[in-house]
Structure formats: structure tokens, C-alpha cells
Structure 1
């Protein structure tokens, strides 16, 4: 499983409710919906992170 970073997001209540409805319409959690939105935005901006090559050092 990929490493994931946690962070706090403050968002307007109305926007959160709209996001919550959008996520439910697509059978995702709010967190999953945010990840999907960010992924699509990075793709469109051609700013996706490059895959890491080789072994990771621990």
C-alpha cells in the first residue's frame, strides 16, 4: 500500500456538504472524492508525480 500523508483541511460548511453529496452520488467517501479530484487536477495540469524507480531506502 502506498504511503499516505494526513493533514487538516478547513472547508466552508456549504462546500463540504456539496462535496459530501457528490461523493455519495459516486459511492465514494469524502476523502476518496478529494483524492480523485486532486488526481484529476494533477493529470490535467500535467503535474502528476513521477513514479519512483528502484528500491526505496528505509
Structure 2
């Protein structure tokens, strides 16, 4: 399971309100929406490494 770390975030009220509305539209929590947007931006910029392969995951169908 992936480690989670808490981080206090200072954000303008306008941006926070917009993120809250967006998260409600997507049926996500505000925290999940912020993480989703950050992950998407990191993935698009090539800065997010793919997760390590799970050696216990047998996707070959054997």
C-alpha cells in the first residue's frame, strides 16, 4: 500500500472554492480531487515515476 503523508496547504479562497465545486461534480472528496489534479499534472509533465511492479501480481493468466 502506498504511504500517505499529510501536508498543510495554503491556497486562495477562490481556487479552493473552484476545486470544491469541481470535486463535487466528479463525486470525489476535495482532498482526492486535489491529489487527482496534481497526479495528472505530474504525469503529463513526465515527472511522476510509474509505480513499481508488484511481484505478487500475476497478470499473465497462468
TM-score after normalising by structure 2: 0.75
1:8 aligns with 8
Superposed CA deviations along residues 17-48 of structure 1, whole A, max 9, x for unmatched, are: 11100000000011000110011011100111
Aligned residues: 54
2:27 aligns with 27
CA RMSD of aligned residues (A): 1.7
Runs (5+) with no aligned partner, structure 1: none
Q: Which structure would you say has the larger Rg?
A: 2
